[in-house]
Amino acid sequence: MATTGFWPVKSNLKYTLDYAENPNKTTAEKYLDNDLYAAIRYVENDDKTDKRLFVTGINCVTEIAYECMMSTKKRYGKTGGNLAYHGYQSFAEGEVTPEECHQIGIETAKRMWGDKYEVIVTTHLNTQNHLHNHFVVNSVSFRTGEKFKNKIGDHLELRKISDEICREHEKSVLENASFFGGEKGSYWIHKDGGITNHDQVKADAQKVIKLARNRSEFVTYFKRLGYDVDETRLSVKAPDWERAVRLSSVGFTKEYINKQFERNRKSDEWYAYYRINYIAKPKTTPLKKIMRDIERDVRYGSGIESLVAAAFLIMIMLIKAVKDNLKYTPLSPTMRMEMNNLKQYVEGYHFLNDNNIQTTTQLYESIAETEQQIKTSETERQNIRNRIRRASPEDKTLLKSEAKNVTAKITPMRNKLKKLKQTECEFDKIQRLFDTELKLEKQAERNKNYDKGR
């Protein structure tokens, strides 16, 4: 069973600009376009594709796909508007091998776009058994110069083609599923190994649906994983999420779930799976203990200021504790999502220490100070540029050199400011994660004591 969808890659998207700020220097600057370049680099990421074994170009050479696509745009004078389209084709757990997944992806892309457009097809292997294909499609036809229209019918056509090919390969098909079931910015989250709310729900749903034999068990298991369940809409929501996620949007319709209940009741293999993957009642995670240990040294959370570096250190220790001890499982789905982000928190912790930032006050002061330094330098550079207009040729050369030197000072300051603001956002996120997780721990502790007293 495969779900599909695609969306346009546009110019000036914040996520794209942040992601492609320092693109590969081997790409000629005359071709440089951050959005298209970033999309191609993401889907070709070696960490996700097993060293590029599963990367295929259709109507273009994979090694120079970016240049091919930009050349087509320039040939027809259509370098504006939507630059490309980023699509996906995602399979159920264990349904396909990497080779099968990639072959189905190639056939799907050829039937959908292969007669007119340049396409890169990759199979990402970084999500364990949940294999999926990515497509990057040039928005301009190399054959006619026509731009892809991106109509609703195109999304339906992609689903239709995907289903046809899945049937040809004797794979299951999810009937009447939504033709678009992903979060549009998800591939930017995925680039560093992160996961989205939809990813977490899909992974948890696959486990729950394999365990549950009826609706009651289905709801119970989701609640044990920290979700609120809306049985009417068939959606789930973590306590700190703004919106619920419908299970149909991640590939599980009511009909499919009911059929799985019946299969579980009749399956001889169900009990073996149940013994290994049973979802027990929530138990406390080490968060409360780790915070208490840290507080002895830095008095985390006490007084007017919270120690920023301590918050990052607690996250690092929590992630390591969970990875080292299989009995430790965060109670919040959002906290479980953060278990893949150890590198991010280690980098943040070192950044704070390298810049001698311990408290929120020091963080805010550093942001304000860096902003002022940038403003002062920009004013200095503008004054130099104003003088260039009235300067002699000889003086212009000297002044341009001065302006260039000031720019060289501004660049690292801007990079530092970006990291400071990112750290501020991450600290705020950590605080919310702690609040939610501690509330769930407290509730689990009450339930545990209640069960003992019965």
Instruction: Kindly state whether residues 343 and 432 are assigned to the same domain.
Output: yes
**Bridge partners of residue 230, in order along the sequence:** 235
Task: Say which CATH number the domain at 151 has.
Answer: 3.30.930.30
Query: What Å distances lie between residue 293 and 159, 289, 300, 346, CA to CA?
Result: 53, 6, 10, 19
Tokens of 340: 């893949």
Q: Check whether 218 has a pLDDT greater than 90.
A: yes
pLDDT value at position 398? 92
Q: Please give the average per-residue pLDDT across 423-444, as a whole number.
A: 88
pLDDT in tens, 152-198: 788 888 888 998 998 898 887 765 554 444 455 565 565 455 678 88
pLDDT value at position 21? 27
What is the span of the domain harbouring residue 138? 2-190
pLDDT in tens, 238-269: 988 988 999 988 878 889 899 999 999 988 88
Query: What Å distances lie between residue 52 and 49, 60, 83, 199, 246, CA to CA?
Result: 5, 16, 24, 23, 34
Q: Which of 158, 173, 190 is the last residue of a domain?
A: 190
Q: Which of 243, 277, 311 is the last residue of a domain?
A: 277
Q: Check whether 414 has a pLDDT greater than 80.
A: yes
Which phi-psi region, left, alpha or beta, contains residue 299 (left: φ > 0; alpha: ψ -120 to 50)?
left
Per cent of the chain over pLDDT 90 is: 32
pLDDT value at position 275? 85
Q: Check whether 87 has a pLDDT greater than 80.
A: yes
Q: Which of 246, 277, 308 is the last residue of a domain?
A: 277
CA quadruple 91, 96, 97, 103: dihedral positive or negative? negative
Instruction: Kindly state whether residues 143 and 27 are assigned to the same domain.
Output: yes
At residue 53 the predicted structure's pLDDT band, cuts being 50, 70 and 90, is low
The whole-model pTM stands at 0.57
Kindly give the interhelix angle for 270-277 and 197-211, rounded to the nearest 10 degrees.
130
Query: What Å distances lie between residue 13 and 79, 188, 394, CA to CA?
Result: 16, 11, 41
pLDDT in tens, 316-362: 999 988 888 766 778 889 998 888 888 889 999 999 999 999 888 89
At residue 16 the predicted structure's pLDDT band, cuts being 50, 70 and 90, is very low
pLDDT value at position 407? 93
Q: Please give the average per-residue pLDDT across 201-209, as a whole number.
A: 89
Instruction: Kindly state whether residues 116 and 265 are assigned to the same domain.
Output: no
Residue 125 CA to residue 46 CA, distance in Å, equals: 10
Tokens of 386: 């104003």
* Contact status, residue 200 vs residue 190, Cβ threshold 8 Å: no
CA quadruple 22, 24, 25, 31: dihedral positive or negative? negative
pLDDT value at position 393? 87
